[in-house]
Amino acid sequence: MAFLKHPGCIYIGGEWQPTDTREPVINPADESLLVEAPVGSAAQVDAAIAAARHAFDRSDWPHWPVARRQALMTRFLDAIDARKAEIVDMIVAEAGSTRMLAEFLQYGIPMKHARRTVEVASRPAITPLPIELTPNAAGGKTLGTGVVSREPVGVVAAISPYNFPFFLNIGKVVPALVVGCTVVLKPSPYTPMQALILGEIADEVGLPKGVLNIVTGDIEAGKLLTTDARVDLVHFTGSDKVGEAIQAQGAPTLKRIVMELGGKSALIVRADANIQEAAHAALGGFTVHCGQGCALTTRHLVHNSVRPQFVATLQAMLGHVKIGNPADPTVNYGPLIRAVARERTERYVQIALDEGATLVAGGKRPDGLDKGFYFQPTLFDNVRNDSRLAQEEVFGPIGAVIGFDDDDEAIALANASDFGLSGAICSADAGRAFEMALRIRTGGVSINGGGGTMLSDAPFGGIKRSGYGREYGEDGLNEFTYQKVISFHAA
């Protein structure tokens, strides 16, 4: 299946450049070869940065009226929508996403966010400050005021992971471009196609040369982006360990950094919760995309009075999970991205057993699937909150059930984590759940399923080892700008 028009090339300065090195990109569901993908050299990454810098400093792109950029980015999104079926197939094949997840979460949600981001970009770029009257040397009063101007930050290095690649590529590129920044996008080597296709879209709609550049490469290629003084902002999604390295790499140039990192988010199930609904939420918390999601609720904090019922209900639900090749539309649970991810999951199963947790379901590779990186959805009960299973991000399909006896204990357990990205509460008492949500140290909390969607105006991000900065909505848009104050007084 051919997905790209320029399969062996990267996109620099509006041109497709071949690379000297290629590496295979495989389908995690059956280990078949999808494409021999380009691997950018250090010289090509340097050229991409130079192209982005030139486009920002020497072209009028940052100074376009916002309405003109909005119109172009709307055409950009329209062109993406025209290739939706092709992109969804790409997401299924390259990322191992189930078809339903690819349609609605991997594609539908980011496109919804992107449309809203383009709309929000029309917010006033210049806002007035209050007037101040100040005594002056002439014995009168100076009538002084000023304005705050929001302006594009400059060259953005956007570095995206393999789990939700199209989602995160769009979530970085669209807000950066619509405010007038230029971008060098570097995807995961596992999922380069979902980035490179955006270069084809850029060509189609006439995006100015150098405004969007797409490079591939290894860790060293990423390091060039995070250390180069010509890059003004690094916008990164990935693990907390890599986030540590990026922060250190950006320090000598005092580079601005936005990072959405790992998570070990808690789902709190109070005694009055609807157990069926709570168990369904918990199921998604570690089985969506085979557990490969930073914001998934993999710690299930359950009131001890209902914990046996909760565990039994969740165990029964796991029996209805259909594991297999996600190209099959009836499959609702696919593979992990690579063998290394499955091996890491297997290690955590053994860690949990060694720590004394009770294996309720799963814990091994499924029978009959000899090709692909499959692992059964796995549930542990009697997990200690201070255990490695409860404290470390597995990034695989393991749920951990932890008991509690009162609300204060639940909040303390939820907060006893190095991470703080997401969270959820299930309770018949929405008011009490809201009070608890205010006390949980995390970037977001959903009550009884939240808003029914990922809200496009809601700022998304974390605290502690889950990173800093926000994505989406006006706050996310503003991360790609800086504030300039221009002051003046009446003559």
Instruction: Indicate which residues carry an active-site annotation.
Output: 260
Sign of the torsion formed by the C-alpha atoms of 435, 440, 443 and 446 = negative
- DSSP states of 347-396: HHHHHHHHTTPEEEE--SPPTT--SS-----EEEES--TTSHHHHS---S
For residue 408, the one-letter residue type is: D
CB atoms within 10 A of CB 26: 18
The three-class DSSP label of residue 94 is helix
- 147 has which bridge partners? 128, 486
Of 393, 391, 383, 408, nearest in space to 311 by CA = 383
Rg (CA), the chain: 24
Cβ atoms 128, 189 nearer than 8 A: no
Of 309, 72, 29, nearest in space to 211 by CA = 72
How many Cα atoms sit within 13 Å of 281 on the Cβ side?
Answer: 28
How many Cα atoms sit within 13 Å of 451 on the Cβ side?
Answer: 8
Of 466, 445, 441, 443, nearest in space to 259 by CA = 466
> How far, in Å, CA of 281 to CA of 254, rounded?
41
How long, in residues, is the chain? 491
Structure token digits, residue 466: 């889950």
How many Cα atoms sit within 13 Å of 453 on the Cβ side?
Answer: 13
> How far, in Å, CA of 394 to CA of 165, rounded?
19
The three-class DSSP label of residue 122 is coil
- For residue 236, what are the CA distances in angstroms to 226, 239, 360, 395? 10, 9, 36, 17
> How far, in Å, CA of 18 to CA of 204, rounded?
19
Question: Exposed/middle/buried for 415, CB within 10 Å: 0-12, 13-18, 19+?
Answer: middle
Residues 6+ apart with CB under 8 A from 402: 299, 300, 301, 302, 383, 384, 385, 390, 413
Cβ atoms 227, 253 nearer than 8 A: yes
> How far, in Å, CA of 39 to CA of 23, rounded?
7
